[in-house]
Chains A and B, each alone.
Chain A
Amino acid sequence: MSVRVQTADFDIGAECRRLAASNDRAGALATFTGLVRADDGLVSLTLEHYPGMTEREIARHVENAMARWPLLDVSVVHRVGRLVPGDRIVFVGTVASHRKHAFDAAMFLMDYLKTHAPFWKLEERRQGSTWVEATVADQHAAKSWTRGR
């Protein structure tokens, strides 16, 4: 299990190769990569976080995922700092023997990352900067995992 919060970019291929080689019983590797969209003239996206709580909170959800599904390995990388459109923000990779577990765990982790991990996004546009607001859709997605999705 690997959880990293960092300013540096990550290499999706390198993360995948490491995860795919992690266990003889691996039959499925599911990944998600979040990117900075070039919405409405976005100049930059700056991610603030709570050092100390961020890593611990993500690790807690990874442990929950590993308890809920028979996962063989998990990797989460989340960037912080100033990013620009097209940049990679977050990577979630899950390894299991079978694809349903890998897919479901990756979705679960993203839904919990979006609603529990202490990051805040500041969008910079030519007219000024605004804080992104949390969405009801994300809250519902996270809650749905407690109803046995």
Chain B
Amino acid sequence: MKLLYFAWVRQKVGRSEECFPLPEGVSTIGGLVGALCARGDGYAEAFGDPARLRAARNHEHVDFAAPVSEDDEVAFFPPVTGG
């Protein structure tokens, strides 16, 4: 799957995007957050407090109960601040 990171999530992780194989046993956005946090270092900093994060799957806002599949593009970011 393709993962994208924005704002301080991007800064803490150290990259704006990457290809990431969907870990076995992970079927939701929340599960993906946990798996990313477990990678440690910048990932633990970025994903350690899920309440501070929002997600989009294939360009649509989703909550952390939403399902994910290997073909998805998932983005993680702070609450938006445009306008």
Contact = CB atoms under 8 A, between A and B. Distances in A.
Interface of A: 34, 47-50, 52-53, 56-57, 78, 89-90, 110, 113-122, 131-134
A118 B83 contact: no
Contacts, number: 70
B81 A50 contact: no
Interface of B: 4, 6-8, 56, 59-61, 75, 77-83
Contacts of A115: 79-80
A53 B82 contact: no
A118 B77 contact: yes
Given A120-B7, A122-B7, A131-B8, A50 B56 contact: yes
Contacts of A114: 80-83
17 contacts: A49-B82, A50-B59, A53-B60, A57-B59, A57-B61, A114-B81, A115-B79, A116-B61, A116-B80, A117-B82, A118-B6, A118-B80, A120-B7, A120-B77, A132-B81, A133-B78, A133-B79
